[in-house]
Amino acid sequence: MNITSQLLREKFIGFFKERGHAVIASASLIPENDPSVLFTTAGMHPLIPYLLGQKHPAGRRLTDVQKCVRTGDIEEVGDDSHLTFFEMLGNWSLGDYFNHQSIAWSYEFLTSPKYLGLDSARISVTVFAGDDDAPRDEDSAKVWEQCGIPKERIFFLPKKNNWWIAGTTGPCGPDTEIFWDTGKPACSDHCDPSCDCGKYLEIWNNVFMQFNRQADGSYLPLEQKNVDTGMGLERTVCVLNGLKSVYDIDLFQGALAKIQQLSGKTYGVNSKITKAMRIIADHIRTATFLLGDPVGVVPSNVDQGYVLRRLIRRAVRMANTLEMPKGSIAQIAEVYIDVYRDVYTELGQNAEKIVDELNKEEERFSKTLIAGEKEFFKVIAHIPGNVVPGGTAFKLYDTFGFPVEMTVELAAENGYTVDVEGFKQKFAEHQAKSHAGSEQRFKGGMAEGGGIKTTHLHTATHLLQAALRRVLGDEVKQKGSNITPERLRFDFSFSRPMTAEEIAETERLVNEAIERHLPVTCEEMPIEDARKTGAIGLFGDRYGEVVKVYTMGDFSKEICGGPHANNTGELGHFVITKEQSSSAGVRRIKAELHK
């Protein structure tokens, strides 16, 4: 079956819309008020409050196409299936239907000639094998049998394979995963979908959320049973078109053609060149979406900006190996902007920023890349054995701006390894707080179910924004936030540093609102009505047609989905601990609540 990415999006959303699901917009790639992750790695992140029992304005059945970024497998990028950015097609039941209906619909969508028409004989599934935390999922296995999947293609696997949780705490449960037989021969008599030999390609995951994992590792039942499914768009398009690699689908063709034009080299002939082209195509696509995101990520040495910088610089290094001219990566980004502008309008709106930031980052890195590589080869010529010392790796980082991941990559290409633990030790000595670029950076907070401390700090961000708009004017708009149980971090649009008097007045206004014990009320209404009432919507078209509006007396009115205190008097004393630059035109405030 020949199918484009856009047609698959339309078919999927249409299928579930016909079955009573409300269509919701993709959330930002930067999770709002969820400190457990740097990026939205799955469709569930924006929906955690509703998985925990809050009522969603759009109802109990939802469907969406969610933008996601995962960098845990970055070293695998360049093979046939791994990507750092991908789109996840999802359908949701918030306390409505459960595994029987979910599995039946998945099977129908995949195999019915009316929809995808896949050969059911090439579909295998896995289900949870059971352990001390939850029983063996015989129920789901029986549903698959009723659909027509024979027992020999239903595999029971342990928690590491068939249990889904985003992060370390929060909503979770057993899942059933759907795999496509690629036609490759089995690697052994024991080959199953948990094997990485390439015979089985996962295309859909149905999670049956029944538990809330606590910080101590225990599992408590959720108030409602939920279904969370995720189908990878790129992998499914690959399967539907009988292609060998996700890089062969329509979404990558323009970028790969541009890379070949700029490099003068041919894709698919030489494995090393092909891998370099794939890395560039993947990393620049991800960078384009991060730079174009409504929240406003830019390259930096911390958090999301660190990961973005790493992706851009890795792409630049690959471009240099292909002898591509200066400015190439921005030209590749322009191809992606054209490919996606009708689906994700923010890319077109932020096109100038995307191109400008890529050019600036390429310029910064190009100045150090040649000198850094020269130093690397000078160093390895004089070290005994084949291990690059941690101190040497840190010098390359500190002096030449080489991320340790790049040193590891260069070392591997030349038959060496790196003492990464030694690097970390040197780094820790140099800088008290490590800024390692992993999306699983933060622990605690909203992903732990919205504890009292994070709930109070989230409520305080509403008061802070209202106070800032009173002190600095209506140009202030939220550009992102991050909350841990200890503090809030709030980014907002403003063109200059705040004065000491402005900071003090902002703090005073927030505490005055707290001392007034204002009631926090919630009302659901159409988004246009919400805007007419003066409610602030933070991130453009990220909301559905019906939204929740939280009002705090006469002080604050915002569209929001997070958990909130019942009364501002619960919050305690508000203290601003720092005001600083976050990026061009964006300021950052850090604050705490003291009892």
Same domain, 233 and 361: no
User: Which residue's structure tokens are 């995962």?
Assistant: 70
Distance of CA 244 to the CA centre of its chain: 26
> Treating both helix axes as pointing N-terminal to C-terminal, what angle do 404-413 and 351-380 enclose, rounded to 10 degrees?
50
Q: Examine residue 435 and state whether it is found in any structural domain, yes or no.
A: no
d(CA 220, CA 252): 43
Same domain, 154 and 297: no
Contact between 537 and 589 (Cβ < 8 Å)? no
Half-sphere exposure of 593 (CA within 13 A, CB side): 26
Same domain, 265 and 371: yes
Tokens of 266: 């041919």
Beta bridge partners of residue 594, listed in sequence order: 573
Amino acid at 72: G
Confidence of residue 383 (pLDDT cuts 50, 70, 90): confident
Contact between 518 and 552 (Cβ < 8 Å)? yes
Same domain, 205 and 259: no
At residue 538, the 3 state secondary structure works out as coil
For residue 445, pLDDT over 60 is answered with no
At residue 112, the 3 state secondary structure works out as coil
Same domain, 39 and 141: yes
Q: Average pLDDT of 153-182?
A: 90
Same domain, 310 and 219: no
Q: Break the chain down into helix, strand, coil percent, rounded to 5.
A: 45, 20, 35
Q: Which of 343, 375, 407 is the last residue of a domain?
A: 375
Q: What is the DSSP letter of 252?
A: H
User: What pLDDT is stored for residue 444 in this prediction?
Assistant: 30
Q: State how far the alpha carbon of 165 is from the alpha carbons of 67, 103, 210, 271, in Å.
A: 18, 19, 11, 35
Contact between 484 and 446 (Cβ < 8 Å)? no
Q: Examine residue 368 and state whether it is found in any structural domain, yes or no.
A: yes
Mode of pairing for the β-strands spanning 219-232 and 520-526? unpaired
pTM of full prediction above 0.75: no
pLDDT digits (tens, 9 = 90+) for 179-229: 999 888 888 888 989 988 888 989 999 999 999 888 888 899 988 999 999
At residue 571, the 3 state secondary structure works out as coil
User: Which residue's structure tokens are 């989230």?
Assistant: 458
Contact between 590 and 582 (Cβ < 8 Å)? no
Same domain, 225 and 258: no
- HEC secondary structure over 448-461: HCCCHHHHHHHHHH
What percent of the chain clears pLDDT 90, i.e. is strictly above it?
A: 53
Tokens of 198: 């390439």
Q: Average pLDDT of 59-88?
A: 91
Tokens of 61: 């059945």
For residue 69, pLDDT over 90 is answered with yes
User: What pLDDT is stored for residue 448 in this prediction?
Assistant: 38
Residue 80 CB partners (closer than 8 Å, separation 6+): 198, 244, 245, 246, 247
Q: Examine residue 431 and state whether it is found in any structural domain, yes or no.
A: no
Contact between 208 and 173 (Cβ < 8 Å)? yes
Determine whether 29 is exposed, middle or buried from the number of CB atoms within 10 Å of its CB (0-12, 13-18, 19+): buried
Confidence of residue 439 (pLDDT cuts 50, 70, 90): very low
Conformation bin of residue 579: beta by default, left when phi > 0, alpha when psi is -120 to 50: beta
Tokens of 301: 């040495």
Q: Examine residue 586 and state whether it is found in any structural domain, yes or no.
A: yes
Contact between 239 and 180 (Cβ < 8 Å)? yes
- Phi and psi at residue 90, to the nearest 5°: -140, 150
Q: State how far the alpha carbon of 7 is from the alpha carbons of 13, 83, 99, 116, 520, in Å.
A: 10, 21, 27, 11, 43
Q: Examine residue 515 and state whether it is found in any structural domain, yes or no.
A: yes
Half-sphere exposure of 56 (CA within 13 A, CB side): 26
Q: Which of 358, 375, 392 is the last residue of a domain?
A: 375
Apex 364 CA angle, 361 and 367, nearest 5:
140
At residue 352, the 3 state secondary structure works out as helix
d(CA 365, CA 70): 23
Same domain, 482 and 585: yes
* Region of poorest pLDDT, from 36-40, 194-198, 554-558: 36-40
Same domain, 52 and 201: yes
Closest CA to 126 of 169, 88, 180, 166: 180
What's the chain's average pLDDT? Answer: 87
In 148-244, which residue ranges form alpha helices assigned H by DSSP?
159-162, 233-240
pLDDT digits (tens, 9 = 90+) for 446-482: 333 346 888 899 899 999 999 999 999 988 988 877 7
Tokens of 543: 């909301």
Q: Look up the CATH number of the domain holding residue 516.
A: 3.30.980.10
Same domain, 229 and 311: no
For residue 70, pLDDT over 70 is answered with yes
Q: CA dihedral in degrees (44, 50, 51, 53; nearest 10)?
A: 170
Mode of pairing for the β-strands spanning 85-94 and 123-128? unpaired
- HEC secondary structure over 51-120: HCCCCCCCCCEEEEEEEEECCCCHHHCCCCCCCCEEEEEEEEEECCCCHHHHHHHHHHHHHCCCCCCCCH
Q: Examine residue 195 and state whether it is found in any structural domain, yes or no.
A: yes
Same domain, 26 and 172: yes
Q: Examine residue 177 and state whether it is found in any structural domain, yes or no.
A: yes
Mode of pairing for the β-strands spanning 154-157 and 520-526? unpaired
Q: State how far the alpha carbon of 108 is from the alpha carbons of 103, 229, 595, in Å.
A: 9, 14, 55
Q: Look up the CATH number of the domain holding residue 126.
A: 3.30.930.10
Contact between 60 and 96 (Cβ < 8 Å)? yes
- Phi and psi at residue 464, to the nearest 5°: -65, -45
DSSP per position, 291-328: HHSTT-----SSHHHHHHHHHHHHHHHHHHHTTPPTTH
Could you tell me the residue range of the domain that residue 12 belongs to?
5-245
Tokens of 515: 């001392």
For residue 509, pLDDT over 50 is answered with yes
d(CA 295, CA 297): 6
Q: Average pLDDT of 334-361?
A: 94
Same domain, 320 and 221: no
d(CA 88, CA 229): 9
For residue 231, pLDDT over 90 is answered with yes
Q: Residue 297's CB: how many other CB atoms inside 10 A?
A: 25
Q: Which of 330, 360, 375 is the last residue of a domain?
A: 375
Q: Residue 516's CB: how many other CB atoms inside 10 A?
A: 15
For residue 296, pLDDT over 80 is answered with no
Q: How many domains does the chain have?
A: 3
Q: Average pLDDT of 2-16?
A: 95
Closest CA to 542 of 9, 58, 86, 21: 58
- Phi and psi at residue 261, to the nearest 5°: -65, -45
d(CA 466, CA 469): 5
Q: Examine residue 478 and state whether it is found in any structural domain, yes or no.
A: yes
